[in-house]
């Protein structure tokens, strides 16, 4: 018979909550660093939001990037970025939004196609006009905002408000640091990245819910236990769950990152980061932060002995 | 919870079977999608343009032009009618959505108001005591005009696209003034963009021979005439023409246009309907030996001199055509004019090579993702991991089945959504299995531990999936194209995974418990 391996044996007891200050310091640096990167470097918005032209071409032999660069720079299209994409025959050309209306952008595409000739294979041509770029930016912001609000409302409805605050802080931490990562490494921030951020928002709350459920259960069970100890116990009891669920999802994402093609790689990268940081924040941020919020325990149990676990459905 | 009633078993099996039936056609090479009614099994997943290759174009109808043209024609009518009644006016013109003028004599105001109000029933006329008049379209009229223009544009776009031979184009109205075009298999949409970039309004008008071209170029265009550019003036050819505003015959009266040759040069032959033929006959009879301008989108294609009356209603347009441009002009004339210019707001074109590569990459990523996750589950949970993996296979089948049944579009991010769901689907099982382990640890019997595991993990599973579902829904409502595809597979995957991870694994566990009656749970 198959013998399952227990990656995290029962009785594991890492001092997560007692060492919370180290985690807080790390997270504070992460968030502050993200904000600084966001303001100094800014996001490298893709054409989805900025408007402009993106072309992916495949040349018959290995691409001669310098020649392509000099050919295109003669067209006077402003800022043109050229980079190898995935393989040595593929090149990604990004052309800044042209002055003037949509017609000017179309003229630029035609000019590039004329300059590069017919022996190159135009694998992908994307053009987003200024109008649509603005709309997509608005829609993206709105989608992230509304999704966050609905998730928060749900958490608020499911738990006492103190837990809601913990969840909000952890969730904001995850999202800010994901966006910060993209500002730092200057990878393109496009619609797919927004999709990743939204999915992270929906997914990273899962681990938090798992741990919070256990904290609530233990609060009822051990009425006299020191909160730091109780929180730490809850985190350790659910550690197997929070890490294993993240691991399975990470495995799937690694497959996308390495084998899903260049188009999806950045999406997968954002998700991988988001899931790691989401698990981290559930353990190191969401729970310890409850110590600083006025968490009310139900009336003192005079005996101080643990009461039997109740039969409430749904404490995982 | 472990009493799995027969009807529950039946439902679980039935859903899985339906999933299999709907998903099965995707294994076939042939495509019977067209022969199958809506929601019936037999359809394949429809691939997005990013996977099958093709061009996505978002067009905007410049509706202001429609209103402006309407106001222009009102302006012309005002000019004509006030002159007829000998009412003096100044400053007549259309701007900012209104025709404005000032009546010179205050005594004429009442009479003028009567005339202006009779011009067009769909307008609101205001004239103040100083004689300042404005005519605006009623809100309803403007709305109707815009709406009609978009409808008509869609029709013309469809005809033009059909003429190019693109197979199965999708042409949809989007929002108030936009048209969404999806052209499968088109990897170089330059010609289509060029065809859609012209309104192709053709008019036949007389050249104003009394006017001097030099004066007109200096800005002195005689009333009732217009200075127009030549469409493709070569060196040494006339670059501008002074053409009368009055339209003798318009392109609306054309019934056919074909590219052909005349003296070895590509030309376009055309044929009018009876009304057009009659007008064309009259005009050509009355203006023999005068130049006649053929105007397309306010540019003069050619201005031949009428040698003899043309009564048959057919003619030939010659210009500096190439074979291709004669072909395109004939196509445009056959399809008809657009009521307003179209602008491309967004284009996303994927060549067939990249599409095929993306499908290949998606397949590999899915298979590797599945193997990694399934392997991990077996290593971590043994026999129960196997149960979870069987459920996972059913989950993928159900996703593919649902996509086929709903005919939702599978895009590259959509494939990522499926792979992601593979990783997330087993999460529910992880939660259940971990709970079972805990229950065993506190000394429960296998039966009761498994029962409690499923019971207690359920709310957490629902919590986790609901929040991700919220994200998917918002993504769907605000995202565009390929990202919508991601939202769709993610949402479907969340729903199906809840079913398979909870119901399907439970059915398997129950069957296993009944058969083996184990004393210990191998988890």
pLDDT band at B6 (very low <50, low <70, confident <90, very high): confident
**How far is A19 from chain B, CA to nearest CA, in Å?**
26
Cβ of residue A250 closer than 8 Å to a chain B Cβ: yes
Q: Is residue A226 scored above 60 in pLDDT?
A: yes
Report CB contact under 8 Å: A248, B376: yes
**How far is A68 from chain B, CA to nearest CA, in Å?**
20
Cβ of residue A233 closer than 8 Å to a chain B Cβ: no
Alpha-carbon distance of A299 to B480, in angstroms, equals 52
pLDDT > 90 fraction of chain B, expressed in percent and rounded: 41
Q: Which has the higher per-residue pLDDT, B413 or A104?
A: B413
Alpha-carbon distance of B94 to B146, in angstroms, equals 18
Q: Which has the higher per-residue pLDDT, B374 or B235?
A: B374
Q: Which has the higher per-residue pLDDT, A53 or B29?
A: A53
Report CB contact under 8 Å: B470, A110: no
Average pLDDT, chain A: 87
Report CB contact under 8 Å: B427, A198: no
Quote the ipTM score: 0.89
Q: Is residue A303 scored above 80 in pLDDT?
A: no
How does pLDDT run across B120-136, given as a tens digit for each residue? 888 888 888 888 889 99
For A271, name the nearest residue in chain B, comparing CA atoms only.
B420
**How far is A299 from chain B, CA to nearest CA, in Å?**
25
pLDDT band at B235 (very low <50, low <70, confident <90, very high): confident
pLDDT at position A1, please?
52
pLDDT band at A53 (very low <50, low <70, confident <90, very high): very high
Averaged pLDDT, B363-373: 95
pLDDT at position B382, please?
92
pLDDT band at A312 (very low <50, low <70, confident <90, very high): very low
Alpha-carbon distance of A199 to A249, in angstroms, equals 12
If you count residue pairs, one on A and one on B, with CB atoms under 8 Å apart, how many are there?
Answer: 269
For B490, name the nearest residue in chain A, comparing CA atoms only.
A199
pLDDT band at A8 (very low <50, low <70, confident <90, very high): confident
Report CB contact under 8 Å: A150, B368: no
Cβ of residue A306 closer than 8 Å to a chain B Cβ: no
For B157, the token pair is 């776009």
Q: Is residue A304 scored above 60 in pLDDT?
A: no
Cβ of residue A305 closer than 8 Å to a chain B Cβ: no
Cβ of residue A7 closer than 8 Å to a chain B Cβ: yes
Report CB contact under 8 Å: A252, B424: yes
Tokens 């990694």 locate to B372
- Cα B119 from chain centroid? 37
Helices (H), B202-350: 213-217, 274-286, 323-335
Q: Is residue A310 scored above 60 in pLDDT?
A: no
Which residues of chain B make contact with A199, given a CB cutoff of 8 A? Answer: 420, 468, 471-472, 475, 490
Nearest to A248 among B188, B426, B523 (CB): B426
Most A CBs within 10 A among B474, B489, B494, hence the mutation to make, goes to: B474
How does pLDDT run across A80-122, given as a tens digit for each residue? 889 888 888 999 999 988 887 777 888 888 889 889 888 888 9
- CA distances, B504 to each of A279, B8, B24, B111 (Å): 28, 11, 20, 84
Which residues of chain A make contact with B437, given a CB cutoff of 8 A? Answer: 6, 10, 240
Nearest to B423 among A139, A158, A249 (CB): A249
How does pLDDT run across B60-69, given as a tens digit for each residue? 999 988 888 8
pLDDT at position B76, please?
83
Which of 35-64 (A) contact B at CB < 8 A? 56, 58
pLDDT band at A2 (very low <50, low <70, confident <90, very high): low
**How far is B393 from chain A, CA to nearest CA, in Å?**
14
pLDDT band at B348 (very low <50, low <70, confident <90, very high): very high
Averaged pLDDT, B383-398: 95
Cβ of residue A296 closer than 8 Å to a chain B Cβ: no
How does pLDDT run across A200-216, given as a tens digit for each residue? 998 988 899 899 989 98
pLDDT at position B34, please?
67
pLDDT band at A184 (very low <50, low <70, confident <90, very high): very high
How does pLDDT run across B171-221, given as a tens digit for each residue? 999 888 999 999 998 888 888 988 898 888 899 999 988 888 888 888 888
Element (H, E) at B70: helix B63-84
How does pLDDT run across B454-513, given as a tens digit for each residue? 998 998 888 888 888 988 999 898 877 778 889 999 999 999 999 999 999 999 999 998
How does pLDDT run across B301-327, given as a tens digit for each residue? 888 888 889 888 898 888 888 898 898
Average pLDDT, chain B: 89
Q: E-strand spans in B314-429?
A: 314-317, 342-350, 409-410
Q: Which of A105, A54, A65 is nearest to A87 (CA)?
A: A65
Most B CBs within 10 A among A259, A270, A311, A313, hence the mutation to make, goes to: A259
Report CB contact under 8 Å: A261, B357: yes
pLDDT at position A299, please?
52
**How far is B420 from chain A, CA to nearest CA, in Å?**
6
**How far is A10 from chain B, CA to nearest CA, in Å?**
8
Nearest to A58 among B353, B381, B383 (CB): B353
**How far is A23 from chain B, CA to nearest CA, in Å?**
25
pLDDT at position A238, please?
94
Which residues of chain A make contact with B487, given a CB cutoff of 8 A? Answer: 195
How does pLDDT run across B322-337, given as a tens digit for each residue? 898 898 889 998 888 8
Which pairing describes strands B342-350 and A121-128: parallel, antiparallel, or unpaired? antiparallel
Nearest to A316 among B457, B490, B522 (CB): B457
Alpha-carbon distance of B364 to B416, in angstroms, equals 11
pLDDT > 90 fraction of chain A, expressed in percent and rounded: 47
Averaged pLDDT, A288-299: 78
Which residues of chain B make contact with A106, given a CB cutoff of 8 A? Answer: 193, 197, 344, 347
- Cα A129 from chain centroid? 27
pLDDT at position B59, please?
94
Beta pairing partners, B178: B60, B174
**How far is B113 from chain A, CA to nearest CA, in Å?**
41
For B38, the token pair is 């809506």
- Cα B332 from chain centroid? 20
Judged on CB neighbours under 10 Å (0-12, 13-18, 19+), A189 is: buried
Which residues of chain B make contact with A50, given a CB cutoff of 8 A? Answer: none
Report CB contact under 8 Å: A260, B419: yes
Q: E-strand spans in B395-496?
A: 409-410
Which residues of chain A make contact with B363, given a CB cutoff of 8 A? Answer: none
Judged on CB neighbours under 10 Å (0-12, 13-18, 19+), A313 is: exposed
CB B96 within 8 Å of CB B372: no
Which pairing describes strands B409-410 and B292-296: parallel, antiparallel, or unpaired? unpaired
How does pLDDT run across A234-272, given as a tens digit for each residue? 999 999 999 999 999 999 999 999 999 888 999 999 999
CB A198 within 8 Å of CB A148: no
pLDDT at position B492, please?
95
Report CB contact under 8 Å: B478, A143: yes
pLDDT > 70 fraction of chain A, expressed in percent and rounded: 93
Cβ of residue A252 closer than 8 Å to a chain B Cβ: yes
pLDDT at position A147, please?
87
Q: Is residue B403 scored above 50 in pLDDT?
A: yes
């Amino acid at each position: 018979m198959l013998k399952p391996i227990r990656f995290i044996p029962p009785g594991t007891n890492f001092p997560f909550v007692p060492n919370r200050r180290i985690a807080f310091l790390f997270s504070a640096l992460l968030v502050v660093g993200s904000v600084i990167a966001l303001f100094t470097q800014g996001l490298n918005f893709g054409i989805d939001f900025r408007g402009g032209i993106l072309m992916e071409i495949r040349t018959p032999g290995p691409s001669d990037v310098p020649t392509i660069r000099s050919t295109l720079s003669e067209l006077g299209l402003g800022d043109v970025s050229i980079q190898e994409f995935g393989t040595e025959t593929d090149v990604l050309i990004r052309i800044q939004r042209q002055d003037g209306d949509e017609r000017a952008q179309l003229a630029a595409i035609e000019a590039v196609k004329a300059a590069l000739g017919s022996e190159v294979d135009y694998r992908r041509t994307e053009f987003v006009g200024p109008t649509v770029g603005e709309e997509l930016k608005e829609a993206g912001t709105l989608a992230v905002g509304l999704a966050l609000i609905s998730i928060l409302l749900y958490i608020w409805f499911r738990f006492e408000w103190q837990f809601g605050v913990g969840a909000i802080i952890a969730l904001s931490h995850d999202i800010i640091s994901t966006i910060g990562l993209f500002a730092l490494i200057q990878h393109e921030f496009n619609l797919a990245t927004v999709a990743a951020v939204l999915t992270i928002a929906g997914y990273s709350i899962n681990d938090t819910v798992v741990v919070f459920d256990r904290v609530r259960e233990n609060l009822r069970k051990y009425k006299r236990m020191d909160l730091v100890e109780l929180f730490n116990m809850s985190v350790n009891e659910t550690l197997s769950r929070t890490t294993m669920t993240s691991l399975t999802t990470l495995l799937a994402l690694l497959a996308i990152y390495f084998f899903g093609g260049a188009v999806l790689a950045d999406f997968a990268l954002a998700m991988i980061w988001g899931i790691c940081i989401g698990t981290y924040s559930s353990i190191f941020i969401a729970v310890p932060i409850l110590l600083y919020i006025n968490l009310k325990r139900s009336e003192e149990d005079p005996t101080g002995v643990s009461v039997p676990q109740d039969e409430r459905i749904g404490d995982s | 919870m472990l009493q799995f009633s027969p009807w529950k078993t039946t439902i679980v099996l039935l859903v899985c079977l339906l999933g299999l039936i709907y998903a099965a056609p995707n294994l076939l090479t042939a495509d019977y999608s067209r022969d199958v009614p809506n929601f019936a099994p037999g359809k394949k997943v429809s691939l997005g343009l990013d996977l099958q290759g093709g061009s996505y174009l978002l067009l905007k109808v410049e509706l202001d032009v429609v209103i402006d043209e309407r106001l222009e024609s009102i302006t012309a009518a005002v000019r004509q009618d006030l002159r007829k009644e000998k009412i003096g006016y100044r400053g007549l013109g259309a701007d900012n959505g209104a025709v404005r003028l000032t009546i010179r004599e205050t005594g004429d105001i009442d009479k003028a108001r009567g005339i202006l109000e009779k011009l067009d029933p769909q307008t609101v006329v205001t004239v103040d005591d100083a004689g300042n008049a404005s005519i605006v379209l009623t809100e309803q009229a403007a709305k109707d005009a815009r709406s009609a223009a978009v409808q008509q544009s869609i029709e013309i776009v469809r005809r033009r696209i059909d003429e190019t031979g693109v197979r199965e184009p999708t042409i949809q109205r989007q929002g108030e003034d936009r048209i969404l075009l999806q052209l499968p298999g088109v990897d170089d949409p330059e010609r289509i963009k060029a065809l859609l970039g012209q309104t192709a309004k053709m008019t036949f008008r007389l050249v104003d021979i009394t006017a001097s071209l030099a004066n007109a170029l200096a800005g002195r265009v005689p009333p009732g005439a217009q200075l127009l550019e030549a469409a493709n003036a070569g060196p040494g050819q006339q670059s501008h023409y002074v053409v009368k505003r009055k339209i003798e015959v318009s392109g609306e009266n054309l019934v056919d246009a074909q590219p052909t040759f005349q003296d070895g040069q590509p030309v376009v032959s055309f044929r009018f309907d009876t009304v057009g033929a009659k007008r064309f006959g009259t005009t050509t009879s009355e203006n023999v030996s005068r130049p006649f301008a053929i105007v397309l989108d306010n540019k003069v294609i050619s201005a031949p001199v009428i040698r003899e009356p043309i009564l048959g209603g057919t003619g030939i347009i010659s210009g500096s055509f190439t074979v291709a441009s004669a072909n395109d002009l004939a196509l445009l004339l056959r399809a008809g004019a657009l009521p307003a210019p179209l602008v491309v707001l967004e284009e996303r074109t994927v060549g067939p090579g990249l599409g095929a590569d993306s499908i290949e990459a998606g397949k590999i990523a899915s298979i590797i993702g599945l193997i990694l996750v399934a392997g991990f589950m077996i290593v971590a949970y043994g026999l129960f991991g196997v149960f979870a993996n069987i459920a996972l296979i059913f989950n993928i089948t159900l996703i593919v089945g649902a996509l086929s049944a709903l005919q939702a579009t599978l895009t590259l991010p959509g494939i990522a959504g499926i792979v992601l769901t593979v990783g997330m689907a087993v999460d529910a099982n992880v939660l259940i299995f971990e709970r079972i382990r805990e229950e065993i640890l506190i000394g429960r019997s296998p039966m009761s531990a498994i029962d409690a595991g499923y019971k207690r993990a359920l709310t957490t599973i629902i919590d986790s999936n609901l929040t991700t579902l919220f994200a998917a829904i918002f993504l769907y409502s605000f995202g565009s194209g390929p990202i919508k595809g991601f939202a769709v597979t993610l949402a479907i995957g969340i729903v199906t995974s809840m079913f398979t991870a909870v119901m399907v694994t439970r059915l398997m566990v129950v069957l296993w418990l009944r058969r083996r009656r184990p004393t210990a749970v191998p988890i």
